Amino acid sequence: MPIPIIDIFAGPGGLGEGFSSVRSEDGNSIFKIKLSIEKDDDAHKTLELRAFFRQFQPKEIPPEYYAYLRREISADALFEKYSEQYAAAKTEAWKIELGKKNREIVKRKIGEALNGAPDWILIGGPPCQAYSLAGRSRIRGQNKRKYREDHRHHLYKEYLQILADHQPTVFIMENVKGLLSSKRVKKENTFDLILSDLKHPNEVDLDGTGKPLTYLLFSLSRRPIEGKEFEPKDFVLRSEDYGIPQARHRVIILGIRKDKFNLNPDILKKISKRVAINEVINDLPRLRSGLSKKKDTPIEWEKAIATVENAKWRAKVSDKINISIDRVLKRLGTGMSRGEPFIRSDKKPQKYSDWYIDVNLKGVCNHESRSHISKDLHRYFYASIFARVNRRSPTLNDFPKALLPKHKNVKEALSGSKFNDRFRVQLRGKPSTTVVSHISKDGHYYIHYDPTQCRSLTVREAARLQTFPDNYFFAGNRTQQYHQVGNAVPPLLAHKIAIIVFKMLKKPDNV
């Protein structure tokens, strides 16, 4: 029987997807998600559709699923035809907000889903805005009292409550790196308190043995040293070191019930060469950006960029950049579209094609470009040219004065007191920077390395950087899709963690 999984604060399901993808030599699932809990409506719909997908064996996915992703049939038509599988998916993906008011109903539902299973895994992590460095800065700037009272400081206690109530054999807890430096009101270190609580989530006797419930906490990046505690930094995983095409640094804690195991788990293996952004998105259909606040046609778009040719600010930039600008302008064409909800394609990425590509889909979904004002198009164009020539993304100090935005805090940024990398190009040949939920606000931090496309990354490109398979569809409008992708755990990283957990569970020397 597959090992049960309960996924809380599930988001669009990155951790769950990684665990669900682990299969035995005969093709059977090692893990089975019994319940995934998420409060956001669109993320829940994403979870529900993926839960439906997993009701079928990989080689038996119905053609109607792909027809839905291609927008050939409606969701109602798909679910009506496979009503039994849809009912199971609705049972698995549960929309509810974790918190004190719903604690009893959540406790009952988890118990029903586990149905007495002796060994199972809890995965997930509380929302991270209050812990992130950017989030703390933003909330404190608005209202210091609001920051102190933010309920998200305490959502890890819901995770702790589930540990105490249901006592999983193993848990995986994920959060942002900013958690390490987060302080409570009385200046106590939040992370130290969380570690202490996770080790001893309750004082209730376990099975009448007189022993309290105790978890051993492990890093997935460093082996334990006898007689030494892990340092907080040991719990930080640098995703790019493990084959993820993104420099995503997150706290991930592996907890193991002390009464069931007397062994140390494996750690993730570092790769010798990091995976670059272009190795996972270069195959995707080339798109132009859109023009906002004016007529948007391919010809008008090309005209808007072509005005760079005679721009006065070019006298202020280097000869190398000017030469590159002239070369790229000659290659601009009007043949590119802005994308569609589904685009047919038979191309494959250089890396992980077996992981990303589903030949039955026959293309890609969630691949549509944003619109940008003309001035931002010029900034994106210049930034991507600068990055190509200098092999680094420009700071605001590298922009000609005429291209600087007229924001009141730009002067502070130029002096180094605020974010100086307002326009960040994702560099060809390197992993991307961290994909975060802010990508839903604007594309300034996610400029495509190809200046002829002159745009920010699409949802599908961001999903590729997060290692979601192409047949993983994100519900909601484009802003909501970006938000989901930015909040997720990379499924391929979760897959590698799941293999470590499985190897540990099947070892004969467990207690």
Q: Do residues 251 and 108 share a domain?
A: yes
Answer whether residue 417 shows pLDDT above 80. Answer: no
Q: 23: which DSSP letter?
A: B
The Cα 320–Cα 43 span in angstroms is: 45
Residues 6+ apart with CB under 8 A from 459: 366, 367, 368, 474, 478, 481, 482, 485
Number of helices (H), then strands (E), belonging to the chain: the values are: 19, 12
Contact 93, 144 (CB under 8 A): no
Q: Which whole number is the average pLDDT over 419-442?
A: 88
Q: Is 264 or 35 the better-scoring residue by pLDDT?
A: 35
Q: Which amino acid, 66?
A: Y
Q: Do residues 381 and 242 share a domain?
A: no
Q: Which whole number is the average pLDDT over 226-240?
A: 93
Residue 171: strand pairing partners: 122, 255
Q: Do residues 267 and 286 share a domain?
A: no
Residue 32: strand pairing partners: 4
Q: Do residues 268 and 317 share a domain?
A: no
Q: Do residues 214 and 328 share a domain?
A: no
Q: Do residues 290 and 258 share a domain?
A: no
Q: What is the pLDDT of residues 94-121, one digit of tens each?
A: 999 998 899 999 999 999 999 999 999 9
Tell me the three state secondary structure of residue 124.
Answer: strand
The Cα 168–Cα 143 span in angstroms is: 38
Q: Do residues 411 and 305 share a domain?
A: yes
Q: Which amino acid, 38?
A: E
**Whole-prediction pTM:** 0.91
For residue 327, name the pLDDT band (cuts at 50, 70, 90): very high
User: What is the reported pLDDT for 433?
Assistant: 95
Q: What is the pLDDT of residues 184-211, one digit of tens each?
A: 545 667 788 778 888 988 754 444 555 6
What backbone torsions phi and psi does residue 391 show, to the nearest 5 degrees? 60, 35
User: What is the reported pLDDT for 143?
Assistant: 56
Radius of gyration of the chain (CA): 24
Tell me the three state secondary structure of residue 56.
Answer: coil
Q: What is the CATH number of the domain that holds 194?
A: 3.40.50.150
Which residue range(s) make up the domain with 76? 3-273+490-506
Name the one residue in this structure whose structure tokens are 């721009």. 311
Q: Do residues 468 and 501 share a domain?
A: no
Q: Does residue 511 belong to any structural domain of this protein?
A: no
Sequential DSSP letters for 366-425: EEEPPEE-HHHHHHHHHHHHHHHHHSSPPPGGGS-GGGS---TTHHHHHTTSS-S-SS-B
Q: Do residues 260 and 328 share a domain?
A: no
Q: Do residues 162 and 244 share a domain?
A: yes
What backbone torsions phi and psi does residue 37 show, to the nearest 5 degrees? -115, 130
User: What is the reported pLDDT for 239?
Assistant: 98
User: What is the reported pLDDT for 151?
Assistant: 47
- Structural element, H or E, at residue 140: helix 133-142
Q: What is the mean pLDDT of the chain?
A: 89
Q: Do residues 442 and 495 share a domain?
A: no
Q: What is the pLDDT of residues 106-162, one digit of tens each?
A: 999 999 999 999 999 999 987 755 454 444 445 445 555 554 454 445 677 788 889
Q: What is the pLDDT of residues 286-295, one digit of tens each?
A: 999 999 988 9
For the chain, the domain total comes to 2
